[in-house]
Each structure stands twice: as structure tokens, then as C-alpha cells.
Chains A and B, each alone.
Chain A
Amino acid sequence: MKNILRSRPVLLVLLCSFIALFSGCASTATTLAPGADLTKIKNIHVVKLAADERRIDKILADQLNVMGYSTTLGLESRIPEGTDAVLTYQDKWMWDITMYMLELNVQLRDPKTNMALATAKSYRPSLQRKSPPEMAKEVLTEIFKSK
């Protein structure tokens, strides 16, 4: 028993099992607010988080452009006229050998009331990690699929 527990392969298997047990599975979730209509949205303002040095706002804006939406980037206090919706986001990062994006939450909001029209979340633990652009594509596809 002593020798088995000292064996590196066994310890590695135990460690991986432990990580798998506590890390959970990848998931995406979307909610649409009652009465929300996303079909008329053409212009979206992506609000940059002040502390965001990884420029997740730009990644989101690029993905929206690919999906056919016109986007602007900037502060929440500087929403251009003619904006149909405002996109806000929260990103969570973890370290596991390298830093990876654990979770990306986005909310599509009414620019007049700031109320959320739709939200989407992508959660990816270490073993199922994806790049930020891939996670941005996941959440935005989910949001606009629900319209």
C-alpha cells in the first residue's frame, strides 16, 4: 500500500480524479426576459470593463460583427445615439498550468432602461477549456438563437 501511494502514476491518477470530481462539467445557459424582442436589434454598444486588460469587449464586438451586427465600444456613459442594445460582460479566469477563461457571462440590455433583455453564460472548467473568442461565440450564438 505504501509503495502504491508513492507511485507517481497512481498519484497522478488520483489527482486527476480529484480535479475532475470537483471541477464539474462545461455548460452554457441562456435566459430571455419576458416580453423581450431581439429581432429588431441592429446596433450594439459593447461596454468595456475598466479593469479588462485582455480586451474581452473587442473579442465580443468582433464576434457580433461576424454575426452581422454593427458595434461600438466604450463606456456605459457614452452610448451612441441609435444604439438598439448594450452588451455588458463579466469574465472569470483561473490558473491551471496556464491562465484560462473559466466563465463568461454576457447581458444584452435595453439602452434606455438598462434592463437586461437576454443573458447567456458559458462555464468551462480546466479540462474543457476553450479560447476567449470561442467562448464569446458560444454565448452570443446562444443569446441570438433564443430570439
Chain B
Amino acid sequence: MILRLCFAGAACLALAFLSGCASPSNATPLTAAEFSPAYKHAESVSIAATGGSETSSAGASQISNAAIVESVAQTIRQSGLFAQVAAQGAPYRLEVHLVRLEQPMFGATFTVHLEMNWRLLDAMGNPLWQKAVQSAGTATMGDAFVGVTRLRLANENALRLNIRDALTQIGSLELKR
């Protein structure tokens, strides 16, 4: 009887450590070492994100639109890619659409696959640059023992890499007004 209870308890603990649910991803700006644009633009940019999801208490960790906007905005501010991040009415508009967030359900190492559509538009709404960017973020048990946290970290890593790839490409553009 005691042995059965121990097995049941161990199974529940294993499930908790290996599975992931219910911790929203935080904004994850890139550091200056991770991203340094070739060209810095003197104008401001506004950012809009769609396709993200809020994390429910019973579901897996998600990436929200707010987390995407905040991550991109902080990275732009730190790197100086654009002079300023404006709420609206800027000469440039960066639209990010979360297409797909593929997450594992169980495992000691979580690898999350993220795909986002990126579009840089001018003030008239004409596309100056657009690309579908895919990235993979990983978190191991060394990063976090609990599955909840590990999944969130994997999400954040995927988001960070996606932002780095997209902004590196934008940073290589010579935008002329």
C-alpha cells in the first residue's frame, strides 16, 4: 500500500517536472552583444504584434502580443536601430505576426519552434521589407528543473533568436526617405 502510494507520488512529481504549463513568456530583449545593426536609422518606428496568445492557468506557456512588442521595442532602443519607438504616427511601422509556436508536451529538454511574419512598412503602408522568420529555442533541465519554467525559457529563447534574425536583416537595409 505504501509502495503504491510512493509510486503514484513519484509519477505525479515526474509529470510535474517533465511537463509544462501556465507561465507566460516575458519580454526578452537582446543585449548589445547579441545584436548590433549595420545601419542605424534616424527616424522613429511604431511596432504592432498580432497572433500571440495569453497564457491560461491550465494551458502551456504562450507568447503574448505585449511580450513581442516589448521585446522588440527594448532591443531597438538598446541598439539604436531606430532613433525612437513611438506608439503611433511614426515614419516606419514594424508589424510582427506570430504564425506558429510549436511546443513539446514532455521531456527533459524542451525545444520550441517559432515562426513569425515580419513586415516593415513606410508611413503610407507600403512594404519596404517582409520575411517569414523561423527560430528554435531550447531549455534543458540545467536551465530549469521544473517543466513550467523550462517551457517558458524555451519560448523566450525562440523569441529572442527570432527577433535577432529579423532585426539583423532590417539593420542591413539602407532606408531612404
Contact = CB atoms under 8 A, between A and B. Distances in A.
Interface in A90-114: 90, 105, 107, 109, 113-114
A33 B58 contact: no
Nearest to B11: A18
Interface in B99-128: 99-100, 102, 115, 117
B130 interface: yes
A90 B136 CA distance: 15
Contacts of A119: 51, 99-100
B102 A105 contact: yes
Given A113-B130, A114-B132, A115-B132, A5 B95 contact: no
Contact of A24 (B59, B95, B130): B59
A104 B68 CA distance: 25
B97 interface: yes
Nearest to B56: A24
Nearest to A1: B1
B97 A105 contact: no
B13 interface: no
Q: How large is the interface on A (under 10, 10 to 19, 20 to 34, 35 or more residues)?
A: 10 to 19
Contacts of A5: 1, 4
A115 to B, nearest CB: 5
Contact of B15 (A22, A24, A31, A34): A22
B131 interface: yes
Contacts of A34: 48, 50, 95, 97
Given A31-B51, A34-B95, A119-B100, A24 B58 contact: yes
Nearest to B96: A34
A10 to B, nearest CB: 13
Interface string A9-43: 00000000000001010000101011000000000
Interface of B: 1, 4, 15, 19, 48, 50-51, 53, 58-59, 95, 97-100, 102, 115, 117, 130-132
Ranked nearest first, the 5 interchain pairs of A and B with the lowest CB-CB distance are A116-B99, A115-B132, A115-B117, A31-B51, A33-B97
Interface of A: 2, 5, 22, 24, 29, 31, 33-34, 90, 105, 107, 109, 113-116, 119
22 contacts: A2-B1, A5-B1, A22-B15, A22-B19, A31-B50, A31-B97, A33-B51, A33-B99, A34-B50, A34-B95, A90-B100, A107-B99, A113-B131, A113-B132, A114-B132, A115-B131, A115-B132, A116-B97, A116-B99, A116-B100, A116-B115, A116-B132
